[in-house]
């Protein structure tokens, strides 16, 4: 069984691409970076050569991996980064504060409409977070 401890990344060694596209990372001369021959992504070595970070990305957060000797292990970002706290805050405000207030102020037949609007507004940020983090 392979160790889960992160190993130091050797700048003169070829590695498999962490993007799961069956590519191969090759060192870029005179830099502390690697390039994938298949997906054309550039990865820089960070954290005293213990982490690999995707340089050009369309994601709202940094994607970082650690090498354990045989595979890349994605390094989870902290909760304070990205859209997660914003989406959770929106859901909290809509469900905990706005929904009871709207139900109390609504009259008879409008209760169902207000409840549907509140649920829809709570589901949209959750859908946004899911679409952002699904890769």
Is it the case that residue 80 has pLDDT exceeding 60? no
Instruction: Give residue 2's pLDDT.
Output: 47
Q: Collapse the DSSP code of 46 into the 3-class scheme (helix H, G, I; strand E, B; otherwise coil) and give the result.
A: strand
Is it the case that residue 54 has pLDDT exceeding 80? yes
Give per-residue pLDDT as tens, 95-123. Answer: 777 767 766 776 666 677 777 777 787 77
Listed in order, strand segments (DSSP E) in the chain are 15-16, 24-27, 33-36, 42-46, 51-54, 64-67, 72-75
Is it the case that residue 69 has pLDDT exceeding 50? yes
Average pLDDT rounded to a whole number, residues 64-76: 85
The encoded tokens of residue 118 equal 């509140």
Nearest CA to 113 among 102, 98, 129? 102
pTM of the model: 0.54
Across the chain, mean pLDDT equals 77
Please, which residues have CB within 8 angstroms of residue 131's CB and are 6 or more apart in sequence?
none
């Amino acid at each position: 069984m392979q160790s889960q401890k992160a190993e130091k990344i050797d700048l003169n060694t070829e590695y498999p691409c962490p993007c799961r596209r069956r590519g191969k990372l090759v060192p870029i001369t005179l830099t502390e970076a690697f390039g994938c021959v298949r997906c054309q992504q550039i990865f820089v070595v960070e954290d005293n050569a213990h982490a690999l970070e995707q340089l050009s990305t369309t994601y709202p957060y940094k994607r970082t991996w650690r090498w354990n000797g045989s595979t890349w292990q994605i390094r989870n970002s902290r909760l304070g980064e990205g859209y997660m706290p914003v989406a959770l805050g929106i859901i909290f405000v809509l469900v905990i504060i706005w929904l009871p207030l709207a139900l109390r102020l609504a009259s008879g037949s409008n209760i169902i409409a207000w409840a549907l609007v509140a649920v829809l507004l709570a589901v949209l940020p959750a859908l946004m977070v899911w679409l952002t983090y699904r890769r």
